[in-house]
Structures are given as structure tokens and as C-alpha cells.
Amino acid sequence: MTPLIYSTLIISLGIGTTLTFASTHWYLAWMGIEINTLAIIPLMTQSHSPRATEATTKYFFAQATASATLLFAATSNAFFTGGWDILQTNNPLTYTLMTLALAMKIGLAPLHSWMPEVMQGLTLLTGLILSTWQKLAPFCLIYQIQPHSPNLFMALGLLSIVAGGWGGFNQVQLRKILAYSSIAHLGWMVLILSFSPPLTLVAFATYLMMTFSLFYSFMMTKTTHINSLSTSWAKIPTLTALTPLILLSLGGLPPLTGFLPKWMILQELTKQDLALVAVLAALFSLFSLYFYLRLSYAMTLTMPPNNPAGALPWRLSPTHNTLPP
């Protein structure tokens, strides 16, 4: 891919998200999301592998279904209310359809099945864009239409926390684990959205920061499999030492950064007399904590000299195998 084409696609990603952010009209917001989708598809296929082509096809079908549903719901809402204003989404049927379409866009359960399969076929850089930037525009629309049905958002949130934690079990591919991590964290954001939108923004900003740091760590050490984590110490020791802290922060362990949003969300749910929902969310998050601890174990307790394979790249380096003169 030439630099000119690559730059055009990156600029289109920015234009699409900005257009959705600045829109109060459903049609313009839909156009911004479509620009985003069409811009990331060539980035997905730039490796020219069958796995990338399969992932791109799955992503295109999932996004096309969600876009068609969203446009139909917006048109129906304009028919019922007489306007295209995003804040005038008052019809229960169109509101539900819009919420489900946007949930499929960002990968909320039970409409999340495309997310892990797509992530597995992408490079880490494209996966980072899919996990962070591509969620901004749909989440902005969800944020604007949120006050109407707290029960729907709570159901989507709890299902996403369960699906994100349970799906990460027995996974050995880091990109799939990161996909399920994204699903679980989005569940926490949606769970509290109807009661405290500013708290949702705090959780979303924290998620973006930690996800970017984790993807950057894996890109620098060039690790895509859980078994390759044991040799990452020999590549970049300092970065490898910091990565378990990022993983535990994503899991929500105190006193790390990721604990603060979850604690504030649980506190707000308790204030809203939803103690049972708060308890369920806390218990289901233990599923996610399991695979975060599993990755941390692979990076810390298998470091050299405890693990001979961890020092293998250093031992096989040509600079250490040459005989002295």
C-alpha cells in the first residue's frame, strides 16, 4: 500500500468519526459511520492473507447489517416523529432497533460473535484501530440516545460482561483475548450509561488508554500468541516488566488505574438501589480477571533465568556465538 493511499484512509477514518461527532441529523451521523467502515476495510486486507480476507468479509457483513438496521430505524423514527434529530428518538420500536444496531457496531453481547473472529485475522495495528477508534462514533450515538431505556442497557451490559469474561477462557491467541476484553469493558460502560453518563466517559477514556498501552507493548515485542510471551523478556525487558501492570489494571485490581472506574460504577449502581446488578457485575468480572492473570503469569513467572526458553533468542544471537579472535 502506497503512502498516499494509506494517508487517505487514515484521514477518512478521522473525517468519518468527526462527522458523526458533529452531527445532530441521523443521516449525516450514519454517513460518518459508513465512511469509517469503508476506510478501515482496505487497512484490514493490506497483508493479503486468506485469514485477513476472511476477517474483512465477516467485518463487512456484520457492519453492513448493522448499518442497514440503523438507517431503517432512523427512517422509521423520522416517519413517526417528523424529524431527523438524534435527540428526538422517542418511539420505543425505533429506539430499540437503533440501540441493537449500534451494539452490533461496537460488539456488545449478544451481537458480539463477529468481533473475536475479525480481530484474529488482523495485524496488531489494525486491531488497535478496531478496538479503539472504530468504537468512538457508534458509542457517541449510544451516548446521545441513552436516557430512554435503562433496562435494555443493563441487560446488554451484564451480557457483555459475562460473554467477554467467559469467552476469554482457554484462548491462546492474544488478539482474541483482547477482543473479549473489549467486549467486557464495553459492558461496564453501557451498564452505567443510563444513570451516570460522565462516569461512562471516564471508564471509556481509561479503557482507551490501557488498551492502547497493551497493544503497543505487544507490537513492540511482536507477540501474538500466549506462548511467545515467555520470550518477550529477551526482546524488550523494560516494556515486558510493565505489561503485567497494564494487564492487572485492565482486570480492575486495586490500586491500579483500571480499578477506579469499576469501583465508581459499583458505587453508583448501589446508590441507584441496584445492589444485585452491582454484585452480579463484580462476580462476572472475575472471569475476565482469570485470563488477565494468566497472561501476567506467562510474562512474569516464566522470565529468565527461571525459564531457559526465555533466554533462547539471546543465546542464539550471532554476537554471542562468535568465537573470540
Please report, for the chain, the start and end positions of each structural domain, with discontinuous segments joined by +: 1-107, 149-307
In percent, the amount of the chain with pLDDT more than 90 equals: 52
**Cα–chain center distance at 239:** 22
Burial (CB < 10 A; 0-12, 13-18, 19+), residue 192, is buried
Going from the C-alpha of 47 to that of each of 51, 61, 120, 135, 225, the distances in angstroms are 9, 20, 13, 23, 18
Band of the pLDDT at 69, cuts 50, 70, 90? very high
Would you place residue 242 in the very low, low, confident or very high pLDDT band (cuts 50, 70, 90)?
confident
* Cβ–Cβ under 8 Å, residues 179 and 206: no
Q: Whose CA is closest to 185, among 275, 268, 88, 289? A: 289
Q: Cell numbers at residue 206, please?
A: 481509561
Query: Could you tell me if 42 and 52 are in contact, meaning their C-beta atoms sit under 8 angstroms apart?
Result: no
pLDDT average, residue stretch 297-324:
55
101 vs 103: CA distance, rounded Å: 5
User: What is the mean pLDDT of the segment spanning 22-31?
Assistant: 91
Task: Look up the pTM and report it.
Answer: 0.88
Whether pLDDT at 224 is above 90: no
Residue 320's pLDDT is 45
User: Closest Cα partner for 292 from 304, 300, 280?
Assistant: 300
Q: For 41-45, 48-52, 88-92, 310-314, which range has the lowest pLDDT when averaged over its residues?
A: 310-314
Mean pLDDT, rounded, for 77-92: 85
Predicted confidence at residue 324, as pLDDT, reads 43
- 228 falls in which pLDDT band (50, 70, 90)? confident
Is the distance from CB of 83 to CB of 24 less than 8 angstroms? no
pLDDT tens for each residue of 135-181: 999 999 998 886 667 888 999 999 999 999 898 888 888 999 999 99
